[in-house]
Structure 1
Amino acid sequence: MFHTICYLKQGNPRQQQAYKAIKQLNMMQDLIDYTPILCGTIPIGIDVKDSDLDIILEVNDFSDFKTRIIRLYGEHEGFTIKQIRIRDTPVIKTNFHYGGFEFELFGQSKAVYEQYAYLHMIVEHHLLKEVSKLREKVIHLKQQGIKTEPAFCEVLGIKGDPYERLIEMGREKGII
């Protein structure tokens, strides 16, 4: 379902707005070499007012990627690009504003379907369908400033590192 953004066209108003902004930028086509996937809260309908559009990418050459990203999006409001390490993995991250959204492009040299953002979204999507009232409780916590994965774990009573525990639970349940 999440391999393209077509599902957003039939979604809630915010999802439809996201679809329009991504299409206007021609982002999925311009970044096709990096297998772009929209992840996060907007695809699964648990976004709050300031939720951003997270696009994950498989990037093996940060220098070429940086050149392309600056050419495509460097003129947009709030544009930043930086290289960091997350869990001992080099990452390139770009942020900018367009169409009423903050975009975050997140690239690492790992297949998108193996990246935490994608795996978390798949597990969370499954849990939202499985657990009654989970959506409302998670959104309530997010409105209080709690990040998505910690909110899920708090509601579900899961202890430990929420980012690792959601992955472990997804594997244990055969979701991922």
Structure 2
Amino acid sequence: MTEAAYHFTDIAYLNDGNVRQRSAFRVLNDLEIMTALSSFDPLLVGTVPIEIDLPTSDLDIVCEFQDAAQFAERLVQEYRKYEDFVIKTQTVDQIERVVCNFTYEDWIFEIFGQPVPTLRQNGYKHMIIEYRILNILGNKAKEYIIDLKSGGLKTEPAFGKMLNLQGDPYQALLEMCEWDEERLRNYLKRIRSAY
């Protein structure tokens, strides 16, 4: 399946989704986030788009910037008026990143930016491979992941447990993201009985 086949680049799909997805669609539109940040190519990623979120899950938005200070200034300008507003800039693996958090209504937002195209950022890649896995394995796998997350595991470690991944589940899922459909299906056939 090619990237063009995924529907996540336009948040309109949320309006036809479950209750939390429709709520997310409403607040994203209330705040006009995708429009306000359009020059930074924003993408909603994480658990809400693929329906494995918990009631406490946040809305994760990844962005691409060329100038960290300009991006941070835009975030301050747009979102400082909201509850729990925090913004920080840091460098990880020699890549500058800006993270902004705030609360609006019952949603916690995390806006993450770095000088990497959004379709190549790890948050997007993790969501896509998790989406592909769940599409193949079905609702039972989705329920299993939600149960593991309800028990305290983060999303990628929950997938690591379900798939019996060795080592760092974050890295293993990134590697799996590069697999073609046949390789992924063959791998998943071997682990179906694990959950």
Verify same fold: TM over 0.5: yes
Report the CA distance between 1:4 and its aligned residue: 0.8
Q: Match for 2:34: what amino acid?
A: M
Post-superposition offset of 1:172 = 2.5
What residue is the counterpart of 1:82 in the other structure?
Answer: 88
Output the CA distance in 2 between the equivalents of 1:40 and 1:6.
16
- % same residue: 39
* Partner of residue 40 from structure 2, selected from 34, 37, 41: 34
Q: Which amino acid aligns with 1:70?
A: V
Instruction: Describe the SS at the equivalent of 1:172.
Output: coil
* TM-score w.r.t. length of structure 2: 0.87
> Which residue in the other structure is 2:141 paired with?
134
Aligned match of 1:16: 22
- Spell out, residue by residue over 1:97-155, the C-alpha distance to the aligned partner (whole angstroms, 9 max, x if none): 00210000000000000000000000000100111421011100101111101100101
Structure-to-structure mapping, 1:21-100, within 5 angstroms = 21-100=27-106
Q: CA RMSD in A?
A: 1.2
Q: How far apart are the structure 1 equivalents of 2:17 and 2:178? A: 28
Deviates more, 1:116-125 or 1:127-136: 127-136
Greater mean alpha carbon deviation, residues 100-109 or residues 61-70:
61-70
1:68 CA displacement: 1.1
Q: Secondary structure at the match of 2:148?
A: helix
Q: Which shifted more, 35-44 or 83-92?
A: 83-92
* Contact 2:60–2:109 (Cα < 8 Å) also in 1: yes
Residue of 113, 131, 134 corresponding to 1:125: 131
Aligned residue for 2:190? none
Contact 2:68 2:96 in 1 (8 A): no
Counterparts of 1:59 and 1:5, CA distance in 2: 20
Distance in 2, matches of 1:142 and 1:15, equals: 18
Indicate which of 133, 145, 150 corresponds to 2:157: 150
For this pair of structures, how many residues does the alignment match? 175
User: Residues 70-110 of structure 1: CA distance to partner in whole angstroms, max 9, x if unpaired?
Assistant: 11100100000001233442210000000210000000000
Segments of structure 1 that go 5 or more residues without pairing to the other structure are: none
- Is the CA contact (8 Å cut-off) linking 2:61 and 2:110 kept in structure 1? yes
Tell which structure's C-alpha radius of gyration is larger.
Answer: 2
